Amino acid sequence: MAVAVFPGCAGASRVTAHPWMRAIRCSSFSSPSPCPPLPPHSSVEPSTSLPSPESSSSSSFFPKRGKTLELVCESLAFKGMGVCKVADTGFVVMCDRALPGERFIGRVSRKKGNYAEVTKLKTITPHWDIVEAPCVYASYCGGCKTQNLHYRAQLKAKELQVRDLIIHVGRFSSTDCAKDCIFKPIVPCDVHFHYRNKMEFSFSAQCWVPSDGPRGDQDLIENGYALGLHVPGFFDKVLRIDKCMLQSEATNKVLAIVQDCWRDPSLGLSPYDVHTHRGFLKHLMLRTGRDKRTGFAEVMVNFVTSSYKPEMLDPLVGRISTIPEVVSVMNNVNSSVGNTSVGEQEYTLYGKSTINEMLRGLTFNISANSFFQTNSYQAEVLYKLIEDFANLKGDLSEIVLDLFCGTGTIGLTLARRVRHVYGFEVVKQAVSDARQNAVLNGIHNATFIQGDLNKIDGDFGKEFPKPDIVISDPNRPGMHLKLIKYLLNLQASRIIYISCNPATCARDLDYLCHGLPEKNLRGCYRLKCVQPVDMFPHTPHIECICVLELC
């Protein structure tokens, strides 16, 4: 693989990315809109001599749609899809729910640029480290599709995926990374089930029932109502869920009660139909926190409805409120044809309007629509690592800039050891929650500002002193190039980049360390550490903490 010296940090090098990965370095610099869907990444590199789709041999090289192939999954990649290569040609194909070592028969479903997607028809030989999935819905709902892969193998796959993306998309030399011990072993999650503090279920006028045949071939629809999770890739197919192994036992009690009675004709409740835009019940959102005095679990139940008719919900509220852990029942009213869970108005039907959670010795108020780390147990681990990597002096002299701060959880956990924290977030309610959380914890050296970090201008940053440390925790599309330009001009001594998408994270690290010649950007940071953290066992999601220091 060709390696070229690039202007920027002394000794920094860039590795030429494969053509099928270039789209990851996407249009974040040309538009504030989110990046297009990312292509997959394999831990096994495709041959650099493969012909392009335009070549004369493309008709024989690319497998045609509908063709049946015998394949072996080599690794996991984007969204947990299995990476395979066609025998003889090495052409890359992706298969959902294929796991490393599994030999199977697959049918090509579609071609996408320099790779294709296949549907698994039959397993010939099962994957390595096979275990029995404890959840009966694991094969269908898509929430935790790697339950039947041993946890240690899940960790290995995630660790390799991060490493490969940083090297190939981020264009960092694997030799230099190894020499400088850049990659740290992934931090496992000790709690493998019941770790989610928030789950959202959907009501539907039709119940989706999977067939016994190949997935997607003969999906069956019943006329009966459904409350559950959307089938992956479909907005109008809902799989009934009676118990979810990712949420707490208390919220499973709530789900069981609702499932038991909401279809009773005497109640007159109807699910919202996404096609006709008629019906009352849209979503059931369940959140779990902890009482700050006792430490016991407390549950919030949020019904999202198309109109405000509290009398319709009274029978459900009456039964739910008998569960000791339920301290709040809310009603978000969303009258739009859209099917989002955030309402235009919010009403308290029972108890209080917020619940509490505790992290790193602080207490946080959580409302129905608050953003909060979904795994409270592992958030403690994540925030401790962030604090360690920040390497604070502890003399109250440092300024911290907290970008994409959400409800202020990260900045507030650092506030007592620094001079001041300045947080920026686009969501108005999140900024309000952050300010309330600062007051709740007696923190007076934290300022939270509402602003769209994708639309900053030359005046951004004038309202606060130059920070010593920048914390950046963007959503999946990563950082806009405007923000990267600002950071390169700012030249703070350290950047802590927290990412829920290692592909866009790798792209942003490339810009910050190596620059972007076509935009006249010169990189000025050196990558010091990449620390993967498993926040969500049995799912393809990966969290990373990356530490950058000024050259």
For residue range 100-112, what is the model confidence (pLDDT) as tens digits?
Answer: 889 999 999 988 8
Q: Work out the pLDDT band at 385, boundaries 50, 70, 90.
A: very high
Q: How many CB atoms lie within 10 A of CB 11?
A: 10
Residue 47, token pair as written in the block: 């041959």
pLDDT at 256 over 80: yes
% of the chain exceeding 90 in pLDDT? 66
> How do residues 46-104 score in pLDDT, each as one tens digit?
333 323 333 334 445 678 888 999 999 988 887 788 999 998 888 999 998 888 889 99
**HEC sequence for 401-431:** EEECCCCCHHHHHHHCCCCEEEEEECCHHHH
* Domain ranges for the chain: 7-130, 198-359, 375-550
Residue 473 assigned as binding residue? yes
> How do residues 279-328 score in pLDDT, each as one tens digit?
999 999 999 999 888 889 999 999 999 999 999 999 999 999 999 999 99
Radius of gyration, CA atoms only, the chain: 24
> How do residues 12-48 score in pLDDT, each as one tens digit?
444 444 332 343 344 334 333 333 334 444 333 333 3
pLDDT at 3 over 80: no
The helix/strand/coil state of 548 is strand
500 is catalytic: yes
Residue 247 assigned as binding residue? no
Domain 375-550, CATH homologous superfamily name and number:
Vaccinia Virus protein VP39 (3.40.50.150)
Q: Which CATH class is domain 198-359?
A: mainly beta
Q: Read off the amino acid at residue 304.
A: V
Average pLDDT over the chain reads 86
Q: How far apart, in whole angstroms, are the C-alpha atoms of residue 128 and residue 148?
A: 10
Domain 7-130, CATH homologous superfamily name and number:
Nucleic acid-binding proteins (2.40.50.140)
Among 16-25, 297-306, 388-397, 479-488, name the one with the lowest average pLDDT.
Answer: 16-25
Among 26-30, 175-179, 301-305, 493-497, name the one with the lowest average pLDDT.
Answer: 26-30
Residue 372, token pair as written in the block: 């909060």
Catalytic pick among 26, 95, 207, 500: 500
pLDDT at 184 over 70: yes
| pLDDT average, residue stretch 143-172 | 93
* Topology agreement, domain 7-130 and domain 198-359: yes
pLDDT at 130 over 50: yes
Among 35-44, 132-141, 457-466, 538-547, name the one with the lowest average pLDDT.
Answer: 35-44
> How do residues 501-528 score in pLDDT, each as one tens digit?
999 999 999 999 999 999 899 999 999 9
Residue 373 assigned as binding residue? yes
**Lookup result for tokens 């490493």:** 163
Q: How far apart, in whole angstroms, are the C-alpha atoms of residue 161 and residue 148?
A: 19
Quick one: pLDDT at residue 446? 97
pTM for the complete prediction? 0.83
